[in-house]
Amino acid sequence: MKKHDWRMVKMVIKNFKEILKPKFDSIPNELKKASQWVLWKGKQNNHEVWEKVPCQTNGKLASSTDPNTWASFADIQAAYEYAPHKYGGIGFVLTKDDPYAVMDIDSVNMKTPPPYALELSNISFAEQSPSKTGIHVWVKFNHDKEKYMNKVVNSNIEIYDTGRFMTVTGDVITDKPIAEGESVQLVVDKYFTRLSKKLALMETNEHPLVQLDDKSVIQRMLSSKNGEKIKALLNGDWSIYVSHSEADFALCSHLAYWTRNNIEQIDRLFKSSGLYRVEKWSRDDYRMETIRKSLCETPYSDSSEQLLIVNGKQTFIPLGYKVDGGNLYQTKIIKGLEVLQLICRTVPILTKRLVDIETFEEGYELRWNDNQKERVEIVSSRSMAETKEMLNLRNIGFPVTSNNSRKIIEFLEKFQTINTVPIGKSVGRIGLIKGEIIHPLLEQNFTINPQSSGERQLHQAFKEKGTLQDWKENILDVIKPFPKVMFMTLSSFASVLLHDYDVPSFIVDLSGNTSQGKSTALKVASSVWGVPSLHGYMQTFNATPISFERKSVFLNSYPFIVDDSKSGDYRIYEDIIYSFASGRGRARGALQGSCLEGTWQQIMLTSGEAKLSSYVMKNSGGVEGRIVHIEDEPFLGVENNFLTRLHNDNLGKTYGVVGKEFVRRLNNLSPEEKDKHKKQYRDLRDNYIKLAGENHVLRRLSNYYAIIHHAAELLNEWFAFGIDPKLCIELFADDSLNNAGTNKPYEILGNLLDELSSHLITVDNDPQKPTPSHMNAFIKDGTLYLMRNYLKERLGADMITIRREWQKQGLTLKGKDNDTTSVRHRSNTIRAVGVNPETLTLLGISF
């Protein structure tokens, strides 16, 4: 099958509404006769650049290499005029079978266009581009790519003649027939002619030396004894020369020496200098003759400068250093002899400088060999500049000592002066950052830089095995009969939706008796993203609050999956729950000010024999509003060996691939598609809120059930998984019926009344008897009143919130001051909270 080119064209414009609409009457008739027309739509990519996407009249993508996707001019005009709001404009597909070519001039100020734009646009029919910042000059010309360039170096001029669609506006700049022949040939020769490769080969073959890149050439030139003179020439200062042309020759002579007679490099660097005159240098005779005369017999060569090939690129070792046998030495001349002094038993190389897009902190990609194995680590810029910080690199296996750390820093500093270390972008965590979900397995323009061993373990756990179909057959289809396991797995997907859908972090907790498959259920949820084991993606509760926080920050959007709550210190669980649900770490101080607070928006999946909320010591209703509880056997009614087979066979066959594809789909959504999906989620949320009724905890949980339900819908839409989302509604109904915790205020009041019933000595219920020494409640006219001090002691900081909920639900009596009533008891007036007698009847408690 022929592979079509669905090519998009970038368009630099911030407001898509500002584009020019096509003027059909002004378009040349000879173009209208060809059936090579398409429509195009504007699509904004992740870098906020608009791209023009070719379309057919039926709305599907068009291809610049498939004539079956093109149409006549009349059909395209009719389709556009029928729905002008739907398309950005129209375009013409250039092919090898037609005579046309287009000179595309970008970034033009139409009020003061540069001379070359005026010259090119004056020879033939020319029109404005849709963005109003460019010019399209239409000509008839056969573009010989061996002889002519596609793009003029260091300019905004390009030429196209085949395999590309060009937008057409009809917004005329020059109303002439489409030109051909000598007038076209003259400007093409002037602007697009390649330098003679034959001449370059003849001149450089005499000196077959390794070529330096542009930055290295400039660095060496400016560091030489003629550095000041060269700097003046590069800046366009020719005041010490008789003429501008003489200065051109002088600069080319310096360039010839340092580039080792590389003609194309001489031309490129000269054009970037202040001496460059487009009208002069564009003349083939002047340019080639100046370069030819400047070529030198003995170009720059430093025999002491070593060349290494690192990661496929040329890397130079600075003067005064030498690599021998894989070791780095410093060279010194003593009594005329070269003496080698060992610096390091490996050669450290900086292959990339990285800037974190969130914190703007800098780091480096450091490479070295360790016992014949190449190591690559991301290190901080401070470790490349301070001996104390560099010594910390011993922890990752870099052979640095207190004796050689300073010398290694000096070597790396000189290394950067003669080598171009490319700059890249890095992130210290994964998940949604700057509008894009970072995934370790996707090819994205970021280097992921985990900051600790725990984060590195999580990073390395993102691995894939098998195919999407393998995961469906071996995992998804196997767990479909088990709604609770499906719910945990859907929660794993839903975690990456929280940021975009503005859903706060929450916990899905699976609890029940031991050996019922809870850990296996978590492994299934882990298989969405990577290696489904405790040595892979899963974590344990046997960790500190700081460890929980740091891993939450690193995962950011991805689910935090933690097994066996019994294995940790339950005394810290309340802090962990509240901290996690807040989505923000604690502010901490640093030597140089405060540290940046870590944030996250994710779902934590947990398991244990007891409900996670049961470990919370306080009577806090807030905990239940942060946890979705799934109880009892996740794999109900399975055979004895079912879990063993699922664990040993199925989970080992496939993992990681489905999560990667899910994120890829999310990253590629258009704004319109995102809005559509968010509306679907809001409709689901409103439905769950209706089901929750007046139960405030269930209403809060509605957000969580809705986003998990929505994840099921997305999986069905994108991958045709055939998941029944109603399982979420059924589990929500179970939650409202079976979990008393979903009405935590009611549960708290019941616990208090049970306590009083079992400690009647603290309840003053008989005026004939002496007053209790410690009174927590009393009965007056058949009504039970709770002492405010008792409530404050038992409810703590949440007292006001819980009492307000009691009032809202009618569990306590209305008083003159909210729920507080002044009651005359034993000759004293006591302000207390009265319990609604119907509440006692409902709870089956009497005093």
As a dihedral over the C-alpha atoms of residue 671, residue 677, residue 678, residue 681, rounded to 10 degrees, the angle is -170
Burial zone of 536 (CB within 10 Å; 0-12 exposed, 13-18 middle, 19+ buried): buried
Residue 638 reports pLDDT greater than 60:
yes
Give the count of alpha carbons within 13 A of 436, CB side only: 17
How does pLDDT run across 590-604, given as a tens digit for each residue?
A: 444 435 578 999 999
pLDDT band with cut points at 50, 70 and 90 for residue 399: very high
Token digits of residue 263 = 């003609």
pLDDT band with cut points at 50, 70 and 90 for residue 14: low
How does pLDDT run across 656-707, given as a tens digit for each residue?
A: 999 999 999 999 999 999 999 999 999 999 999 999 887 777 888 999 999 9
Token digits of residue 282 = 């564009």
How does pLDDT run across 471-495, given as a tens digit for each residue?
A: 999 999 999 999 999 999 999 999 9
Q: How far is CA 336 from CA 304, 333, 483, in A?
A: 15, 6, 82
As a dihedral over the C-alpha atoms of residue 244, residue 248, residue 249, residue 252, rounded to 10 degrees, the angle is 170
- DSSP per-residue codes, 326-344: TEEEEEEEETTEEEEEEEE
Cβ neighbours around 570 below 10 Å, total: 16
User: Could you tell me if 34 and 98 are in contact, meaning their C-beta atoms sit under 8 angstroms apart?
Assistant: yes
**What integer pLDDT is reported at residue 307 of this predicted model?**
63
Q: Which residue has the tokens 């975690």?
A: 495
Burial zone of 145 (CB within 10 Å; 0-12 exposed, 13-18 middle, 19+ buried): exposed
Instruction: Give percent of the chain above pLDDT 70.
Output: 90
User: Could you tell me if 138 and 28 are in contact, meaning their C-beta atoms sit under 8 angstroms apart?
Assistant: yes
Residue 6 reports pLDDT greater than 70:
no
Q: How far apart are CA 207 and CA 41, in angstroms?
A: 52
**What integer pLDDT is reported at residue 571 of this predicted model?**
84
* Longest distance between any two alpha carbons in the chain, whole Å: 123
**What integer pLDDT is reported at residue 1 of this predicted model?**
37
pLDDT band with cut points at 50, 70 and 90 for residue 588: low
Helices 284-294 and 263-271, packing angle to 10 deg = 120
How does pLDDT run across 199-229, given as a tens digit for each residue?
A: 443 333 333 345 677 888 888 888 877 889 9
**What integer pLDDT is reported at residue 203 of this predicted model?**
39
β 423-427/447-448 pair status: parallel
**What integer pLDDT is reported at residue 593 of this predicted model?**
41
Most confident of 277-286, 527-536, 590-599, 613-622: 527-536
DSSP-assigned letter for residue 67: G
Residue 108 reports pLDDT greater than 90:
no
DSSP-assigned letter for residue 177: P
Residue 750 reports pLDDT greater than 50:
yes
User: Could you tell me if 55 and 76 are in contact, meaning their C-beta atoms sit under 8 angstroms apart?
Assistant: no
Q: How far is CA 152 from CA 104, 191, 280, 283, 290, in A?
A: 11, 7, 15, 14, 19
**What integer pLDDT is reported at residue 574 of this predicted model?**
84
**What integer pLDDT is reported at residue 590 of this predicted model?**
43
Residue 722 reports pLDDT greater than 70:
yes
Mean pLDDT of 170-195: 87
The pTM assigned to this predicted structure is: 0.58
Candidates 298, 309, 333; CA nearest to 319 is 333
Q: What is the mean pLDDT of the chain?
A: 87
